[in-house]
Structure 1
Amino acid sequence: MSEHRVRVEVDECGVATVTLDRAEKHNALDPAMFDALVDATTRIAADRSVRAVVLHGAGKSFCSGLDITGLADRKGMGPRDLLAREDGQVAGHGQRVAYGWSRVPAPVIAAITGNCFGGGLQIALGADIRFATPDARLSIMEVKWGLVPDMGITQSLPRLVGLDVAKELTFTGRIITGAEAKEIGLVTHVVDDPYAAASELAREIAGKSPHAVQAAKRLYEETWTGSDPASALLLESRLQVELMGSPNQIEAVTAGKAGRAPVFVDPD
């Protein structure tokens, strides 16, 4: 990374806190931010000690979307470059900052405050769970600039809202509040302090068997939409067979019977 944009901190419980750190620009996405987010998702996905992730923005906003000026200022780099795909990558560079969170084995929890527009919203939608303040401002804003959302929204939005709702939000680009977003299913919870709530939930999840939690995330990621019943049911069985009799599964049962807190080992 040529510039500092994202901070990643992993605590003793295995909770990784990822902070979009460009508060003076409401964490707008410039080339350095794209690079830093791709790097963060890659590193966290490879860190087997991470059991849960909290994703939030420094300052007043989660992320205000694309910084067009910032892209234009980088020599040889423009919006079209974000669409490029590296060999072997399913998603383009710009898509990986959102889609990459679904590839992280551990659950990812987004804490949304202030503005969450365009690409910023697509990043939040890439998380597994979302907390937002009642007055947070969310928008699929790309139509304002004569564009379509192109940062992985086809893989996230269909799991959360109906087609008619998705079309209305995309056709209009209108800004909705966190409270409205909760009503239509765009966010999971509305709270006054999303970061505190997300951190508390992350610590709770980190106390469960990481093998079971990560298997559950994989199960839903691979089957929630577009999967035929035979393949989905087979994956359920395969994942369960892998878990049954494993050290962490035995520890969960043993600790439960003894009435003590379990001590789990990280995945290999």
Structure 2
Amino acid sequence: MTDLVEESTNDVDHRVACTVEDGVAEVRLARADKLNALDPAMFSALVTTGLRIRDDPRVRAVVLHGAGRGFCAGLDVDSFRDMVTGDHEPDRQQAAPAEPIGPARAPGQQAAHVWAHLPIPVIAAVHGVALGGGLQVALGADIRLVAPDAHLSVMEVRWGLIPDMTGTQLLPELVGRDVAKELTFTGRVVTGQEAVALGLATRVEADPLAAARTLAAEIAAKSPDAIRHAKHLLDSAGHVSLETGFAAEQDSIRALIGSSNQTEAVEANFARRAPSFTDPSPYRPAQERR
């Protein structure tokens, strides 16, 4: 096991810990005494960690979870007090990274969207609470495994706010426009069981972290090239025309057939052995690609 992000570095301010083992990065929100509440340092730590994972070709899957009694309780209560006193200045909370993270520009949006931005699968293991911004961070994952007694809520309306960490754009796609409105307008809390029924979560697990680790290991054992192409295609579905989507499928299949990792997958299957795949090239921002 190797440290991808050092817990002692100043830039993450002890907020997030990350290790990599056997192709799986395990990211832990590490502010257990505050139920992993979000503050500017946590936003920065999440973004920094996500970008470091993106640039590490060893990583083939990510497990995202919270330390202590819950996944994330949302925005730090002190931030709400600052709003009342007038000390809250959202545009000055954190400088944006040197490069944009997809369409996300605001720090909170980047902290949630960085996980969707990764070219590899991200699995969120949710126990305890995932409230407000904490839920929106979980929504950035590709798959959400939740404890049956977990509590999830689009809670911003209770503070006179709206979900502004990508939630208004993601919720309708996951649960439907009417359910997204009901959850956002009321701020009601749902259990893990109801979250799955609504589409907020993928499935219920008695031990979501253990299940997430097992699933991540299974994904990491597959061809990283095929997984990356599949994530890109599935994420674009519904956001591009069928003509564009069908053409992208063919571009991907042509790139995969006969490649070293695809050949290894075929040979390993016929030989009834575990495959040994080669890590892909390091990620480069789109503007640098030729």
Output the TM-score relative to the length of structure 2: 0.87
Partner SS state of residue 55, structure 1: strand
Q: Which runs of 5+ in 1 are unaligned?
A: none
User: Deviation per CA, 1:180-211, whole angstroms, max 9, x where unpaired?
Assistant: 10111110110110000000000000000000
Letter in 2 for 1:46: D
Counterpart in the other structure of 2:216? 202
Instruction: Report the counterpart of residue 175 of structure 1 in structure 2.
Output: 189
Q: Deviations over 1:226-255 (max 9, x none)?
A: 311111111111111111110000000000
Paired position in structure 2 for 1:265: 278
Comparing 183-192 with 19-28, greater Cα deviation is found at: 183-192
CA shift, 1:78, in A, is: 3.3
How many Å separate the matches in 2 of 1:122 and 1:138?
Answer: 10
State which drifts further: 213-222 or 48-57.
213-222
Q: Distance in 2 between matches of 1:104 and 1:215?
A: 12
Match 2:108 to one of 94, 113, 129: 94
* 163 and 2 in structure 1: CA distance in 2 versus 1, 3 angstrom threshold: closer
Q: Which letter maps to 1:180?
A: E
User: Does the CA contact (< 8 Å) of 1:83 and 1:95 recur in 2?
Assistant: no
SS of equivalent to 1:262: coil
User: Within 2, Cα distance between the matches of 1:219 and 1:117?
Assistant: 30
Q: 1:214 to 1:154 in 2, by over 3 A?
A: farther
Q: From 25, 42, 48, give the equivalent of 1:16.
A: 25
Percent identity for Structure 1 against Structure 2: 53
Q: What is the distance in 2 between the residues matched to 1:190 and 1:31?
A: 31
For the residues of structure 2 that align with 1:263 and 1:230, how far apart are their CA atoms? 35
Instruction: Give the structure 1 partner of residue 125 of structure 2.
Output: 111
Candidates 39, 46, 71, aligned match of 2:55: 46
1:191 aligned partner, one-letter code? E
Q: Does the CA contact (< 8 Å) of 2:36 and 2:71 recur in 1?
A: yes
| Counterpart secondary structure, 1:197 | helix
Cα distance in 1, alignment partners of residues 207 and 226 from structure 2: 28
For residue 29 of structure 1, what is the amino acid of its counterpart?
A: L
Aligned-residue Cα RMSD (Å) equals 1.9
SS at match of 2:175: coil
Q: Deviations over 1:72-111 (max 9, x none)?
A: 49xx873344697567522122101111101111100000
Q: Which runs of 4+ in 1 moved over 4 A?
A: 70-73, 82-88
Cα gap change, 1:155 to 1:216, in 2 (>3 Å): farther
Is the aligned partner of 1:134 residue 2:153? no
- Alignment TM-score, normalising by the size of structure 1: 0.93
One-letter amino acid matched to 1:261: A
SS at match of 1:122: helix
| Matched residue SS, 2:162 | coil
**CA 1:84–1:39 in structure 2 vs 1: closer, same or farther (change >3 Å)?**
closer
CA distance in 1 between counterparts of 2:19 and 2:98 reads 30
90, 112, 120: which one aligns with 1:79: 90
Conserved in 2, the CA contact under 8 Å of 1:14 and 1:50? yes
Structure 2: which 5+ residue stretches go unaligned? Answer: 1-10, 282-290
Correspondence for 1:229 among 222, 239, 242: 242
